[in-house]
A and B are shown apart, each in its own frame.
Chain A
Amino acid sequence: MATQEHAGWPARLNVVTGKGGTGKTTVAAALAIALATGGRRVLLVEVEGRQGIAQLFELPPLPYEERVIAAAPGGGEVNALAIDAEQALLEYLDMFYRLGMAGRALQKMGAIDFATTIAPGMRDVLLTGKLKEAVTRTVDGRRVYDAVVVDAPPTGRIGRFLNVTAETARLAKVGPIKSQSEGVSAVLRSPMTAVHVVTMLEEMPVQETTDAIVELRGLGIPIGSVIVNATRAPMLAGVRVSQAEIRRGLTQAGVSADRDTVAGLVTEAKAYQTRLGVEAALRDDLAALGRPVVELPALVDGVTREGLDILARTLLRAS
């Protein structure tokens, strides 16, 4: 197993967040492939029960069980796990108390539902606990995974999700949950962890990216890269588009066009240029965050395995 880290992506626990709709799951999967490149073993985890990974790789729904879902260039492998909070709770209780039958009784009574609801963040405690376990797991003194990539909750909830262990320590003043929580909290605040924020060049995602980074900094949780998804190479930048120019060009290309069409083309080009201006301003906002910014191209043919590989290569090149 290769143990060398990919430069630029030094963290072992890579938490991928972003506003909903920015392609968080796609980027998490691409990052998992990237980090597995060159014979490494990576675990891609989903925590929200959406089965987004299965959909992305066109697989049947993933069980609560780690399994290989994709190979990476150079002999690497990507494993996937969909964490189910209820299963994680039973596993967790079993770790401390051999509950057996009682565990099933609890499940039947809705106790699990209850516990994950009334103890706010209990669900997140379990999920983050599982992440720590996967990152630090060893067999015969060797780490099982070179890296873990998490398709995490969106920007609006990421701070709460990652900080839940600190919250829990406040609520549970004693007991195994307290010590467990402190252990998780320490991992999440160590250089082992990096939170990457996925965005697009639109106002709301960029605003949420900024808010999330400010929040995470306040919580002392390390921030990795800002990943700008679905970018396109700019055209017509700084060019003056006139009707005369277009008319000339169309004639040369042998395309006949009436007045309205020429005027329409100018309108389209100007709207496009306005959009470019907005995008440039948003790029400046992102650069001002002081974190590495990686731009990923828009996938014209939708998200296919080839598309994921393109994104994975771009992520590696960026490092």
Chain B
Amino acid sequence: MTDGSCGFDGVAGYARTVMSDHAGRLRSPQLDVDKLLADPGIRIVVCCGSGGVGKTTTAAALGLRAAERHGRRTVVLTIDPARRLAQSMGLSALDNTPRQVKGVDGDGGGELHAMMLDMKRTFDEVVLAHTDAQKAEEIFANPFYQAMSSTFSGTQEYMAMEKLGQLRARGEWDLIVVDTPPSRSALDFLDAPARLSRFLDGRMIRMLLVPARVSGRSMFKLASASFGLFTRAVTKVLGTQLLTDVSTFVAALDSMFGGFRERAERTYRILQNKETAFLVVAAPEPDAIREAAYFADRLAHEQMPLTGLVLNRVTTVAAPAISAETAQAAAVRLDGQSVTADVMRVHSALVEQRARQRAVTERFVSAYPKVPVVEVPVQAADVHDLDGLREIGRSLSGA
């Protein structure tokens, strides 16, 4: 078996050596979650994937298992958890400081801390870190900052990565488990830091700063005619006061451009580091699987370590001996004898759903045959306490 901490074995690093030969099993190697969580060389686990596939639950379950089974001091960074899931970890509001989760078995020396990302406050912290208090106050008071820090597309993704960088820098945890924002595209959080720093660094912003800078530089000469038109148009449409607000905001942020870019780049390097493991979380549905495939490609392209695929919400068939056809025929024959007929209908729907899921998942498996996969059965009810998370943790570890 390869040593997961060596970093060069790529996707095969946390596969079980024994391939299961159960009929109906996927052909992929099985992901060894316990080996991953126990590996002291792994400091960050990023759970990514499209929205609505149980990413946050997976992150929380991994964190709990790392703390209880592997004695690791763990922190889970969640973005937008379902209320009951948040409550199960004792989280009741956005809070930028990790809090220790009560009720975690710490006999092995592990601890679990959890926090929900406060996007606005994280942005404030970044500003404060790069400028003096007075200037920071000016920025905070600017209506554009207020709007941008809570609405700019990509701010949440950027701040999630920023927070990850901060947690990592504090060095207080053995393991940081990150849930990524519920982006329209699973890839947004990789692009957001670059997008934000490109925006803050952009040509238009520079132009707005022109009055305060050396004028007549060659790059502006070409544009100056239309730029005059532009300012006139903007002034007319938006009003002078608005334009003044924009320039003040931009001028205030100007001093921090370098800092923003540098931070984004640092976080990016952390993600490329071999201490980071990416788990793509998906459900066996066409859209989620398509996103998972994009993600696998993208990570390979960025030279970021894809450790495995967590396939949530997999339908389980407890009576595989009866086929869907047999069950349907039996239901027809028994009509009127409702209980068994309905049981047969429920069973046949399960078998058919399982087959559909298998076909969809096969698309990923055949494209990425080396990526280890773990399947987590669908839960009849939503997780709302630590026991529920432990149960998911057991499924994740293949138990």
Residues of A at the B interface (CB closer than 8 Å) are 19-21, 48, 50, 93, 96-97, 99, 102, 105-106, 109-111, 113-115, 117-121, 156, 160, 167, 170-178, 202-204, 207, 235-236, 239, 241, 245-246, 248-250, 252-255, 257-258, 260-265, 267-269, 271-272, 274-275, 277-278
Contact = CB atoms under 8 A, between A and B. Distances in A.
A236 to B, nearest CB: 5
B262 interface: no
28 contacts: A20-B51, A48-B184, A50-B184, A93-B237, A97-B236, A106-B230, A109-B227, A109-B230, A117-B152, A118-B204, A121-B147, A172-B238, A173-B242, A174-B241, A176-B237, A203-B84, A236-B342, A239-B338, A249-B340, A250-B340, A253-B340, A255-B322, A257-B321, A263-B319, A264-B317, A269-B346, A274-B380, A278-B380
Interface in B300-348: 317-322, 326, 329-330, 333-334, 337-347
A109 B380 contact: no
B382 interface: yes
B367 interface: no
Binding site secondary structure of chain B: helix
Nearest to B184: A20
A265 B318 CA distance: 6
Nearest to A274: B380
Contacts of B108: none
Nearest to B288: A21
Contacts of A115: 234
Nearest to B196: A117
Given A204-B52, A241-B339, A268-B347, A253 B151 contact: no
A62 to B, nearest CB: 18
Contacts of B382: 202-203, 278
Nearest to A276: B380
A261 B321 contact: yes
B239 interface: yes
B340 A172 contact: no
Given A96-B236, A175-B239, A269-B342, 17 more contacts: A93-B233, A106-B226, A109-B203, A118-B144, A118-B148, A172-B239, A175-B238, A177-B237, A235-B342, A239-B342, A245-B340, A252-B333, A260-B319, A263-B319, A265-B318, A268-B346, A272-B380
